Structure 1
Amino acid sequence: MITPRDRVLGRVADHLVALGRPLRVAVDGITASGKTTLARELTAAVAARGRSAAHLSMDGFHNPRAIRHRQGRDSADGYYADAYDFQAFERLVLEPLGPGGDRKYRERIIDLGSDTPIDEPPVVAAEDLVLVVDGSFLQRDLEWDEVVFVDTPFEIARDRGTRRDTELLGGLEQAERAFDQRYHAASRRYLDEVGPAAGASVVVGNADVANPVLRRIGGPADAVVNLFSYGTLQTPSVQREHFGRELTGAQDVLPGYRQDWVTITDPAVIAASGTDRHPIVRHTGDPADTTAGTVLEVTTEELAAADLYEVDDYRRALVRLGSGTDAWVYLAQRP
């Protein structure tokens, strides 16, 4: 059975699998927002779709303790400025996996528990690698191909984090003080100075871990993307129901794909579209096979809404249309 969390992570994984190679993905958010768990699950979802995937934690790129705590063990400014060695991470991970890089990257440079430097040989990335990295402040000094922002309210993250770190930090009272004075004080500064949710290409609401919310996908908050529809998303009533407005579009065709049909069982989708019989397209590679439809301009919030409207028979992919326009389209999950 596919859970609500599986579905949201699956939509994000579909999005990443369709993009460049290798792909450098940040999973960003405040302390204890659920970044590490989501990053691990997302890595597994990408791998399940047949693409190489690996997960790194910024824990392996902390500065030594003497640098991390030089402004005081409880200092928020110290945590914000001194926790991570971003320069080493950029040089040893992001640059090798970026344009023109040799794909030889390091997985860590320090053992955080023992505060011991590590000099391990680099890993050679597969050409199609999706590297998923979780950590704090990841949009401050680094450039990524994609950023997933895990949006969790401070009060919920504080409760999670203090319970998680009670033993590590010497008791519940000490953990609460550390979150209030250091970790979340630094996180508030980060939100104020950088605005990481607006700059992220994907935003996942994670207040309820069993029922996350896909809030945005496909670009930053002000982005507009092309979505090619050959089916019910062209219908004004469906657009009003899921986007809150009627969309404008241009006619186009999708070459190399033939149209088929799928029977929908989701009552909400049937109610919105008025039918349980929806078109679906499958790749043939034959230029004589074409599917007509409409290129719609949608916001990243609307693309997320479209992802949740389409049932699991569909996956979203990036294609080139007959006009030469690049657009997202929902294809058959399996050829």
Structure 2
Amino acid sequence: MVVQPVSPQVVVDLLVDLAASLEPGRRWRIVIDGAPPTRPGALADALVGPLRAAGRPVVRISAGDFLRPASLRWEHGREDPDAFYDDWLDLDALTREVLTPFGPGGTGRYLPSLRDPVRDRSTRAARLQAPAGAVLVLDGSLLLGRGLDLDRTAHLAVRPATLARRTLAHERWTLPAFARYAAEVDPERGADVVIRVDDPRHPALLRGGTADRA
């Protein structure tokens, strides 16, 4: 792969252009995927204003609001990396309540959140109606290669040593899950856009493979 240094603004502009160029007559699903230290939510948030300025309605959702109950997440202990990878995210609920409504032929009626991850309670959020042409911007970790119906994907990549250094001490037990993700899914080859953020002030685009489709 070829590494192309860019500015953080260029990353935002690239993803906004990618989303704004999509056919306006239908709804689209875009994901920003990355480990927590790469701050995928911050990048997803940065797309909202420019997309709306470009005339595209935007719906912002975080996969972290669609976790399974703690009793299921922690069935094998609170710090099991395989459970973190396989069992924490409620893939069925995310598909049913968000991705399918935004897909071709979907109703556009979606649930903005399912569960408060801190209180471990239902958010009791009401369903909302996404207008035609809306762009769903979803952020989260370990989202690629999971069978989710997504239209465009961006992955925030860091080297294993960088990830270990930037992961908080009480979350380092999750590192084997991200190593497994890299080995089994290889998101740097599967994503439409790959941004290396070992130094978030100086990101770089990885050119090669499917990333060049962007």
TM (norm. structure 1) is: 0.58
Q: What are the superposed Cα offsets for residues 271-321 of structure 1, whole Å, 9 maximum, x if unpaired?
A: xxxxxxxxxxxxxxxxxxxxxxxxxxxx81xx77xxxxxxxxxxxxxxxxx
1:7 aligns with 2:10: yes
Quick one: which amino acid aligns to residue 64 of structure 2? Answer: D
Question: 1:203 deviation in Å?
Answer: 0.8
Question: 1:215 deviation in Å?
Answer: 2.2
1:184 aligns with 2:175: yes
Q: Could you tell me which residue of structure 2 aligns to residue 147 of structure 1?
A: 153
Larger radius of gyration: 1
Question: 1:147 deviation in Å?
Answer: 0.5
Closer/same/farther in 2, CA of residues 153 and 48 from structure 1, 3 Å limit? farther
Structure 2 counterparts to residues 192-211 of structure 1, below 5 A: 192-211=183-202
Alpha-carbon distance between aligned partners in 1 of 2:184 and 2:60, rounded to the nearest angstrom: 27
Alpha-carbon distance between aligned partners in 2 of 1:157 and 1:222, rounded to the nearest angstrom: 23
Question: 1:159 deviation in Å?
Answer: 3.1
Alpha-carbon distance between aligned partners in 2 of 1:106 and 1:160, rounded to the nearest angstrom: 32
- Paired residues of 1:31 and 1:187 also in contact (CA < 8 A): no
Question: 1:57 deviation in Å?
Answer: 0.9
- Listed as ranges, the gaps of 5+ residues in structure 1 are 163-171, 224-298, 305-335
Question: 1:198 deviation in Å?
Answer: 1.0
Quick one: which amino acid aligns to residue 40 of structure 2? Answer: K
1:46 to 42, 51, 59: 51
Question: 1:120 deviation in Å?
Answer: 2.0
- Listed as ranges, the gaps of 5+ residues in structure 2 are 1-5
1:212 aligns with 2:177: no
Closer/same/farther in 2, CA of residues 45 and 151 from structure 1, 3 Å limit? farther
Question: 1:200 deviation in Å?
Answer: 0.7
1:102 to 100, 107, 125: 107
Question: 1:70 deviation in Å?
Answer: 0.7
**Structure 1: 4+ residue segments shifted above 6 A:** none
Q: Secondary structure at the match of 1:32?
A: helix
Alpha-carbon distance between aligned partners in 2 of 1:66 and 1:74, rounded to the nearest angstrom: 13
Quick one: which amino acid aligns to residue 41 of structure 1? Answer: A
Q: What is the RMSD of the two structures over their aligned residues, measured on CA atoms? A: 1.9
Q: Indicate the structure whose relative CO is greater, using CA pairs within 8 Å and at least 6 residues apart.
A: 2
Q: Could you tell me which residue of structure 1 aligns to residue 126 of structure 2?
A: 121
Alpha-carbon distance between aligned partners in 2 of 1:159 and 1:143, rounded to the nearest angstrom: 32
Quick one: which amino acid aligns to residue 177 of structure 2? Answer: A
Q: Secondary structure at the match of 2:161?
A: helix
- Paired residues of 1:34 and 1:206 also in contact (CA < 8 A): no
Q: What are the superposed Cα offsets for residues 188-219 of structure 1, whole Å, 9 maximum, x if unpaired?
A: 11111112221111111112212211224xxx
* Greater percentage in helix: 2
Q: Report the count of equivalent residues.
A: 206
Alpha-carbon distance between aligned partners in 2 of 1:153 and 1:160, rounded to the nearest angstrom: 11
Alpha-carbon distance between aligned partners in 2 of 1:131 and 1:153, rounded to the nearest angstrom: 28
Quick one: which amino acid aligns to residue 161 of structure 2? Answer: E
Question: 1:95 deviation in Å?
Answer: 0.5
